Structure 1
Amino acid sequence: MSEKNRDGKRTARERLAVEREKQKAAEKRRRTLIVGASVVCVLGLAAVIGVVAANSGKNKSEKAGPVVVPSGAQGKDSLAIPVGKDGARSTLTIWEDMRCPACQAFEVAYRPTLHELVDAEKLRIEYHLVRLIDGNLGGTGSLRGANAVACAQDAGKFRDYHDVLYTNQPKETDDAYSSNAKLIELAGKVKGLDTPAFQKCVNDGTHDSWVNKAHKAFQSGGFTGTPTVLLGGKNIYNDRTMTPAKLKQMVEAANHG
C-alpha cells in the first residue's frame, strides 16, 4: 500500500472519529438540557444577583395598587392557585414562571401524569406564580403571563390556559408574553375564555400586585430556581432519578397507605 493511500485512510478514520465525538457531545448536551434544565431559571446566578437586588421594587411594571386575589386562591396570603380536590391525600406545590423554559420542560414531561392523578382525585396541585426571568433578562413577560393565568382562574379556566401558555411558550429571550394582545390571542385556544371580562382583567393588570407578592414570598422562602416542585415539603425536582412514573408511584403509594 502506498504512503499516499495510508495517509488517505488515516485521514478518513480521523474525520470519522471527530464526527463521532461531535455526535456524542451533541447527545450529552441534549441530555443535560432535559435533565438539568433547572439551571436556566435560577435566581442565584452570580451574574444577575446584584442586578436583581438592585432593581428590586424599581421595575416600572410593579404596581403599587391593592392586591387582588384570584378567585379561589388558597394557602398563606392566598398566594396559591389550587387544581384538584381539596381532600386529596397528596399535594404537589409548584413555583413556576410562565416565561421559564425549565418550567415548560417540566410541564410538558409531567402534564399527562399530573392530569391523570388530579382527575382521579389522588393529587392536588398548588401553583405559585413568580417572575424570575423578568428580573434576570428584563422585560415583563413573566408578570404579564402570570397575571393572565390568574385572570383565567377567575374564569374557571386556569388549567387549560396554563397548559396553552406552556405549549406555546416563546424562547426565553423572546419577551412575547409581555404583549397582552398575544396573551388574549392564545386565550382563543381555550373554549369560553376570550370574553370581555378576561380581556379587561389582562389589559388592566388586575392581579399584578398579587403576582409581585407571590414573587416576594418565593424570594423570602429561600427558593433558588424555577420550577421548584415540592411533594410533602420535599423538593422532588432536585431528585435526578425522578420521572413521571416514579411520581405516580409515590402518589399511588400515599393513597394506599
Structure 2
Amino acid sequence: MNPANMEIPAQTTGVDGSVLYYGKLDSPHAVHFFLELRDRGSAHVMESLLDSVREGADAGKYVVKFHFNGAFDDTVGGSGSHRALSALGAAADAGQNAFADYLAALFKAQPFPPGYDRFAEADTLLTAADSVAGLRSADFDRKVNEGTYLQWAGKAIADFESYGVIGTPIAWYDDNDIHVFTVPDGPAVSPQDFLAELHD
C-alpha cells in the first residue's frame, strides 16, 4: 500500500511506483538502468545510449526501466539527487517523451563537481526543462518549485537497494548484467556494442 497522501507520478511501475519506465510494460523484455542524477558515469552512459535504447522501446522490443539512487546526497551532501528525481517525476506527468527528453537534459546540465549541488535549486531544474519542447507549464513549474514528488523520490531511492546493486551506472537486460563501459571506469560503450548484448 502506498504511504498516505504520497503523490506518485505517471509512467511509473513497481512498489510505490518506484520505477520510471519508457515503452510498453507488456514488452517481451526489459532493459534496466540503475543511475544517479548527480553521477558523472551515469551521465556519460545516458549520453551514449539513451537515444538508441529509446528506439528499441519505441519498436516494442523491450521496455526501459529506470531505477535511481541518491548516494551522492548522503556521501557528498545536499539534496540534488532527490530534487532532480522529483522534477523528473513532474516531467513524467507530461508523457514518456517529455520524461526521456528531460532525463537527457538533466544529465547535460549536471553540475560538476558533484559537490556543487545546483540540482537542489529549483531554478536549475526549471532551466534544464527549457530545452524540452512543451515541458514548461504552470503545472510543471509548480511541481518542481513545491517538490511535489519529493516523498516519492525518497521512496524510489530507498527501493534502489532492494535490487542488490552497488554503485551506478549499471544495466541489466532482463536479469542479466550488461556492460556499460568499455573497461572499468573507461568510456561508455557504443550504442552498437550495447544493443548487440540484447538478445533472447
- TM-score class normalised by the smaller sequence: 0.7 to 0.9
Quick one: distance in 1 between partners of 2:181 and 2:133?
Answer: 37
* Residue number in structure 1 paired with 2:186: none
* Residue number in structure 2 paired with 1:246: 193
1:1-257 to 2 correspondences below 5 Å: 66-156=5-95, 157-171=98-112, 172-237=114-179, 243-251=190-198, 253-254=199-200
| One-letter code aligned to 1:166 | F
Name the SS of the counterpart of 1:198 in structure 2: helix
Higher helix proportion? 1
Per-residue CA deviation, residues 116-164 of structure 1 (Å, 9 max, x unaligned), is: 2122221210112221111110011111111111100012120111111
Which of these two proteins has the greater Rg computed from alpha carbons? 1
| One-letter code aligned to 2:132 | V
Contact kept, 8 Å, 2:17 with 2:156, in 1: the verdict is no
Name the SS of the counterpart of 2:56 in structure 1: helix
Quick one: distance in 2 between partners of 1:116 and 1:136?
Answer: 35
Task: For residue 186 of structure 1, report the CA deviation from its aligned partner.
Answer: 1.5
* Residue number in structure 2 paired with 1:47: none
Contact kept, 8 Å, 1:130 with 1:212, in 2: the verdict is no
Task: For residue 243 of structure 1, report the CA deviation from its aligned partner.
Answer: 4.7
Name the SS of the counterpart of 2:127 in structure 1: helix
Q: Which has the higher contact order (CA 8 A, sep 6+)?
A: 2
- TM-score, scaled relative to structure 1: 0.68
Quick one: distance in 2 between partners of 1:112 and 1:205?
Answer: 28
- TM-score, scaled relative to structure 2: 0.86
Alignment: residue pair count: 190
| One-letter code aligned to 1:163 | A
- Alpha-carbon spacing, 1:210–1:237, altered in 2? closer, same or farther (3 Å): farther
Name structure 1 gaps, 5 residues minimum. Answer: 1-63
Task: For residue 239 of structure 1, report the CA deviation from its aligned partner.
Answer: 7.6
Task: For residue 65 of structure 1, report the CA deviation from its aligned partner.
Answer: 7.7
Quick one: distance in 2 between partners of 1:239 and 1:198?
Answer: 34
